[in-house]
Amino acid sequence: MKLLPDDFDEQVQIAIDHFWNTKLKKASTAQAGTRGSVLSGKHMSGFTNLFIAVAKLAGASTDSIVTTGPFLTLPGYFRATKNWDGIILHEGKLVAAMEFKSQVGSFGNNQNNRIEEVVGLGHDFWTTERHGLFGADTSSGTSDPRPPFLGYMMLLEDRAESRKEMNPKTKTFSIDKEFSAASYADRYLITANRLISERLFDSVAIMLSPRPTIKAASYSSLSEPTNIRSLFQAFAAHVASVME
């Protein structure tokens, strides 16, 4: 079965172009002293469209694909609710959830916040799932016992500052040697690998994209397991298996 649309790469490029066009337009509007015309989060809508296209190809019905409205709000365990970027619902049960995030500049100030956020997101999600808050009770053996798919994508601005080697130190204990001389981009890759190995997420993608100037926007990845194609292939495979 074909997991991804034939024009997958083109759709990713469209999403990247839209991200930068929207992000830079919003920044220039703010600098002009007027309120930004683009609402928060809209710069990632190209990836939401990709989520929809891949889910449909995997067999999800239009009604089961949720990217807007009140049904995007799911219960939590350590918090009351959480709004997601895209979810799949089928026969009263959560099939998949996806989160899209970005970081442009302010690497030192924001990276730890982003990492704390995603670690907490994974812990809360699976604790909520274990407590049976994401759908039908499977104790009778009549419901699908497979847990939902959880995916995450980080789009990081690719520039000298995000690629620069860092030298973290503490005055108490030794730093994990894997973080020694790691750049901000490397740190995200380390985090992505550990989120997967610790089973907090089924798949994680780290995308790097330089701020476009005259040329069209571009993007790259740091590893095969954490590229955008791997994330959506894993998502599609899970959705297709549930929809069979």
Grouping H, G, I as helix, E, B as strand and the rest as coil, residue 98 is strand
Q: Indicate whether 189 belongs to any domain.
A: yes
Q: Which of 9-13, 107-111, 165-169 has the highest mean pLDDT?
A: 9-13
Query: What pLDDT, on the 0 to 100 scale, is given for residue 33?
Result: 43
Give a yes or no: residue 1 inside a domain.
no
Residue 68 domain-assigned? yes
For the entire predicted model, the pTM comes to 0.89
Say which residue the tokens 């239009």 belong to: 62
**More confident of the two residues 143 and 80:** 80
Please report whether residue 71 resides in a domain.
yes
pLDDT band at 40 (very low <50, low <70, confident <90, very high): very low
Query: Can you give the residue range of the structural domain that contains 107?
Result: 8-31+39-135+145-243
C-alpha pair distances (Å), 12 with each of 101, 209, 220, 222, 232: 15, 12, 11, 16, 11
pLDDT at 191: 95
Q: Which of 2-6, 108-112, 160-164 has the lowest mean pLDDT?
A: 108-112
Q: Look at residue 140 and tell me if it is in a domain.
A: no
- Looking up tokens 């894997």, which residue turns up? 178
| pLDDT tier at 156, thresholds 50, 70, 90 | very high
Q: In sequence order, what E strands does the chain have? A: 65-66, 73-75, 81-83, 86-90, 93-103, 149-157, 203-209, 220-221
User: Higher confidence at residue 107 or residue 201?
Assistant: 201
Confidence band of 31 (pLDDT split at 50, 70, 90): very low
Q: Is there a domain that residue 105 lies in?
A: yes
How many domains does the chain contain in total? 1
The dihedral built from the CA positions of residue 11, 13, 15 and 18, taken in this order, carries a sign that is negative
| Beta carbons of 23 and 51 less than 8 angstroms apart | no
Indicate if the pLDDT at residue 32 is higher than 50.
no
Give the C-alpha distances (Å, rounded to integers) separating 200 from 82, 94, 120, 121, 193.
Answer: 16, 17, 9, 9, 10
What is the CB neighbour count within 10 angstroms for residue 215? 7
Q: Is residue 155 part of a domain?
A: yes
- pLDDT at position 6 is 95
User: Is residue 27, in this structure, part of any structural domain at all?
Assistant: yes
Nearest to 158 by CA among 115, 221, 231: 221
